[in-house]
Amino acid sequence: MADLAHPFMTFYACAKLCYLRSPALLGITTPSDDVCVITLTVMAAQKINEALEHLAKAEKCLKTSFLKWKPDYDSAASEYAKAAVAFKNAKQYDQAKEAYLKEAESYENHKALFHAAKAYEQAGMMLKEMQKLPEAVQLIEKASMMYLENGTPDTAAMALERAGKLIENVNLEKAVNLYQQSASVFENEERLRQAVELLGKASRLLVRARRLDEAVVSIQKEKNMYKEIENYPTCYKKTIAQVLVHLHRNDFVAAEKSVRETYSIPGFSGSEDCTALEQLLAGFDQQDQDQVSDVCNSPLFKYMDNDYAKLALSLAVPGGGTKKKSPATPQEGVTGHAQGGSRAEEEDDEYSGGLC
């Protein structure tokens, strides 16, 4: 045990010496800082020492002898888990990750796949704390596969969703893939409400990534699921999203087809959504940018999910569109006619006195 604790005790002694010679090196500027640093250092010291003790016990559990033919993987895994928690509390995330990986390995050897998967997932969380997100996602994916092997698909789907959230701001493509995998697992378990929610996340990310052809397919799948669970108002909203994506793809025919198909859904005909879509398509067909902009700036479109609202606000008719005629145009014609008459009168006046 003394050998295991030696590296840490060396670190602690150096920190103490550094503090005695120059407190500023440890960031100590006030008496209150002094107390806080000493307290935190002592707490970290205790946790690391505790972790090292658990690691030593785990190694002992894995040893065999004349009377002990097989390693005690279950007890070793338990000790590795305690060591990982202690390292985590001391904010030693790399050591915590290694301890969780050893815990997972021990559980695998013990054929306890569910507990092994949990340990891999925790190791992934330690990598997240270290800002190593791609590596974290890899471990969580591995955990999800083990959950599936263990016969716990719901837990696998939730793990994939967590991985998607982790990587969403770094790698959109990977996040889309993870959300789709998670949705597929929920769909296979006939949990359509959870599946359609994750498909919605994938659709929005596809729009954000401008992968519009794939987004159309994903939104259609959402729409079919909402129809199956009889959530008809959300079907109308998905039709609006479909139409916006189709128009940004310059596929007016597909946009019209989406609306026509939705007439078969109860309550759509005559609804606010239906009226707005008819006005939008009419304005787009007539290349009337004013009408299109009016519809897209209505609350129905502005308060959609952010990615679809952006599509609405940036929608432009082909060729730049035409502007509505100003109501002042006829008056301008009358004014022009009056001015023409005045010029004629001036010419008449010029020659009214004769050539002389």
Tell me the per-residue pLDDT of 17-30, one tens digit each, with 9 for 90 and over: 344 444 443 444 44
Torsion-angle region of residue 65: left (phi > 0), alpha (psi -120 to 50) or beta? beta
Give me 171's structure tokens.
């790698």
Written as one letter, the residue type at 348 is D
The pLDDT of residue 324 is: 47
Report the mean per-residue pLDDT for the chain. 84
Written as one letter, the residue type at 220 is Q
Give me 242's structure tokens.
């479909």
pLDDT at 1 over 80: no
Give me 17's structure tokens.
């010496």
The pLDDT of residue 34 is: 52
pLDDT tens digits, 181-191: 999 999 999 99
Q: Is-contact 205 186, C-beta < 8 A?
A: no
By the 10 Å C-beta count (0-12 exposed, 13-18 middle, 19+ buried), 354 is classed as exposed
Q: Return the percent helix, strand and coil in the chain, to nearest 5.
A: 80, 0, 20
Q: Is-contact 174 137, C-beta < 8 A?
A: yes
In the chain, count of helices (H) and strands (E)? 17, 0
CA 97, distance to chain mean position in Å, is 25
Considering only CA atoms, which of 63, 58, 132 is closest in space to residue 99? 58
Q: Which residues pair with 322 in a beta bridge?
A: 288
Average pLDDT in the 312-324 region? 76
* Helical pair 133-150 and 153-167, crossing angle rounded to 10 deg: 170
Average pLDDT in the 89-113 region? 95
If one compares 356 and 86, the residue with the highest pLDDT of the two is 86
* Helical pair 306-313 and 192-208, crossing angle rounded to 10 deg: 40
Cβ neighbours around 228 below 10 Å, total: 10
The pLDDT of residue 64 is: 85
Average pLDDT in the 269-286 region? 94
Long-range CB contact pairs, 173-177, < 8 A, 24+: 173/209, 174/134, 174/137, 175/205, 176/202, 176/205, 176/206, 176/209
SS3 288: strand
* Residue labelled with tokens 């990534």: 209
pLDDT at 103 over 50: yes
Average pLDDT in the 138-146 region? 97
Q: Is-contact 79 55, C-beta < 8 A?
A: yes
Written as one letter, the residue type at 300 is L
CA atoms within 13 A on the CB side of 143: 31
pTM, 2 dp: 0.78
SS3 322: strand
pLDDT at 57 over 50: yes
Sign for the pseudo-dihedral over CA of 169, 171, 172, 177? negative
Q: What is the DSSP letter of 11?
A: H
